[in-house]
């Protein structure tokens, strides 16, 4: 049986009211959303110029900050093509050119209206530290070329600098504790709170040229040269930190091989860390090009070296231990190796370890693994009881672990916060949308009630 004309009219009226109400609500919500969009979002670009490669990171945060420090998130990570900028010592212009691809990605992500107010910084680490020691003039040329290339971009270039090892370690500590929510958290009540000091974790960074350890010790730091202090989110943090140049993965492998060459009577070297059956040749000259390699070089560096693997883990560990000076810390409870002061490790640690590059060989895996084990147990002093507190990660919470985010967090404390008028606009926009929705709903209900009474007549 078909609907009567009154029932059809009632249905049409209800449909029109619903469509009208929904359309109006959408329009108001769109307007409110436009107000809610963080138009005051700020951006920052940081280049991490490491020994083996360069990475670019884009970070973003709202101008309205928590206790003078921005709440920062990672918006982009890009690995530049080619090796680290220290590899372009003989052709510095290529160092700047190698960064352009990632920079273009960053500029495409950041709104053009934000370009001029976006700070950009390049920090160079272990590879450039070694080049500065070997040839300071070449290092300056590389920095000049990189600065010239980056200064031509539309963003605010803040400079290219050599990052001190202590800063690299300390800023890495800031990064990992931030991404784990241990520096600041957003509570259910809508307030930012600082977690307890005892929950902070330590940071271990094992790069290609250097390695860093940073943590909050259980007592006072007796050597102030190993102390770094930060004030973030209204709280001051004091950490122990030290960087060991020449103890990164790549430099360790070079030092290990050079030591075996020195103890071999010929240019045929039997390598205990390489797997049995391996045989390869390599040029001698590049092996002795690093300041980290202190072993005496053969007279004729133009020759090639033949390396055979023997697959002997015991001999491999013995050769690796020879890279450390453990005896300098005998009888000292606050010493790591090479006479370096270090309090006993404490708490949980996160490790960012350098993985083999695209040209990495299976032959190096055994040496790398045993080296990390030796460094952690005999060098830094981890034990069977504390080993369970170590986690190996490249990311945490979707954010890359390294010094760059820590640098940006520290940088945001230097950027003034804007007036919080936009938050009042946001609240107003949401309030208006809610009121309109309520009015429309009541109107529709009232209209439906009137029509129902009319149909009864």
Instruction: Give the whole-angstrom CA distance, residue 303 versus residue 261.
Output: 13
Angle at 324 between CA 288 and CA 302, to 5 degrees: 10
The whole-number pLDDT of residue 11 equals 53
Mean pLDDT calculated for residue range 301-327: 94
Asked whether the beta carbons of 271 and 315 are under 8 A apart, the reply is: no
Pick the residue with more confidence: 191 or 263? 263
Q: What DSSP designation does 360 have?
A: -
pLDDT > 50? residue 447: yes
Pick the residue with more confidence: 430 or 203? 203
Mean pLDDT calculated for residue range 372-378: 96
pLDDT, the chain, mean: 82
Asked whether the beta carbons of 407 and 44 are under 8 A apart, the reply is: no
Of 7, 168, 236, 378, which one is the catalytic site residue?
168
CA 60 and chain centroid, separation: 14
Instruction: Give the whole-angstrom CA distance, residue 321 versus residue 33.
Output: 61
Instruction: Give the whole-angstrom CA distance, residue 115 versus residue 104.
Output: 12
Which tens digits make up the pLDDT trace of 46-103?
Answer: 999 999 999 999 999 887 666 666 678 899 999 999 999 999 999 999 999 999 999 9
User: Is the entire prediction scored with pTM above 0.95?
Assistant: no
Residue 143 makes CB contacts below 8 A (sequence gap 6+) with: 124, 128, 160, 161, 162
DSSP string, 3-46: PPHHHHHHHHHHHHHHHHHHHHHHHHHHHHHHHHS-TTEEEEEE
Instruction: Give the whole-angstrom CA distance, residue 267 versus residue 282.
Output: 11
pLDDT > 80? residue 355: no
Asked whether the beta carbons of 165 and 243 are under 8 A apart, the reply is: yes
Give me the residues paired with residue 48 across strands: 55, 123
Instruction: Give the whole-angstrom CA distance, residue 379 versus residue 128.
Output: 25
Residue linked to tokens 């023997």: 310
Exposure letters 156-166 (e unless 16+ CB within 10 A, then b): ebeebebbebb
* Beta strand 192-193 pairing with 202-206: unpaired
Instruction: Give the whole-angstrom CA distance, residue 199 versus residue 378.
Output: 25
Handedness of CA 398, 403, 219, 238 (dihedral sign): negative
Please, which pLDDT band fits residue 360 given cuts at 50, 70 and 90? low
Handedness of CA 352, 353, 354, 360 (dihedral sign): negative
Please, which pLDDT band fits residue 191 given cuts at 50, 70 and 90? low
Please, which pLDDT band fits residue 314 given cuts at 50, 70 and 90? very high
Domains in the chain: boundaries: 5-38+428-456, 41-163
Mean pLDDT calculated for residue range 27-34: 40
Mean pLDDT calculated for residue range 281-303: 88
The whole-number pLDDT of residue 414 equals 55
Based on the residue annotation, tell me whether 308 is a catalytic residue of this protein: no
Determine the CATH number of domain 41-163: 3.30.420.40
Give CA separation, 271 vs 191, 276, 297, 318, in Å.
Answer: 58, 9, 18, 12
């Amino acid at each position: 049986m078909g609907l009567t004309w009154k029932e059809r009219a009632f249905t049409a009226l209800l449909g029109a009211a619903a469509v009208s109400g929904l359309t109006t609500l959408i329009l108001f919500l769109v307007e409110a959303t436009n107000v809610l969009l963080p138009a005051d979002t700020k951006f920052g670009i940081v280049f991490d110029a490491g020994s083996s490669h360069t990475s670019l990171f884009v970070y973003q945060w709202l101008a309205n900050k928590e206790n003078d420090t921005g709440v920062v998130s990672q918006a982009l990570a890009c690995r530049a093509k080619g090796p680290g900028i220290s590899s372009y010592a003989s052709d510095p212009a290529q160092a700047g050119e190698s960064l352009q691809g990632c920079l273009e990605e960053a500029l495409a992500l950041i709104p053009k209206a934000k370009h001029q107010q976006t700070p950009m910084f390049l920090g160079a680490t272990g590879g450039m530290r070694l080049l500065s020691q070997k040839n300071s003039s070449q290092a300056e040329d590389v920095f000049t070329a990189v600065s010239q290339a980056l200064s031509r971009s539309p963003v605010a270039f803040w400079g290219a600098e050599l990052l001190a090892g202590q800063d690299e370690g300390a800023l890495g500590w800031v990064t990992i504790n931030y991404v784990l929510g241990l520096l600041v958290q957003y509570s259910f009540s809508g307030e930012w709170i600082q977690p307890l000091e005892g929950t902070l974790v330590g940071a271990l960074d094992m790069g290609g040229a250097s390695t860093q350890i940073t943590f909050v010790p259980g007592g006072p730091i007796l050597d102030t040269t190993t102390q770094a202090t930060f004030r973030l989110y209204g709280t001051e943090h004091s950490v122990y930190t030290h960087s060991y140049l020449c103890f990164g993965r790549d430099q360790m492998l070079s030092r290990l091989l050079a030591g075996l060459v020195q103890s071999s009577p010929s240019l045929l070297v039997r390598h205990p860390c390489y797997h049995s059956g391996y045989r390869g040749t390599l040029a001698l000259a590049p092996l002795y090009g690093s300041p980290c390699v202190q072993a005496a070089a053969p007279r004729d560096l133009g020759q090639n070296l033949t390396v055979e693997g023997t697959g002997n883990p015991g001999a491999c560990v013995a050769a690796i231990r020879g890279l450390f000076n453990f005896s300098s810390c005998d009888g000292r409870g606050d010493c790591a190796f090479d006479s370096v002061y270090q309090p006993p490790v404490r708490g949980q640690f996160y490790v960012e370890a350098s993985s083999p590059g695209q040209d990495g060989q299976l032959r190096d895996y055994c040496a790398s693994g045993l080296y990390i084990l030796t460094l952690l147990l005999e060098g830094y002093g981890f034990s069977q009881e504390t080993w369970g507190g170590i986690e190996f990660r490249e990311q945490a919470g979707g954010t890359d672990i390294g010094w760059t985010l820590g640098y940006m967090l520290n940088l945001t404390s230097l950027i003034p916060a804007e007036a919080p008028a936009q938050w009042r606009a946001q609240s107003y926009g949401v309030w208006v949308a809610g009121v309109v929705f309520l009015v429309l709903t009541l109107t529709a209900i009232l209209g439906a009630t009137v029509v129902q009474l009319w149909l009864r007549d």
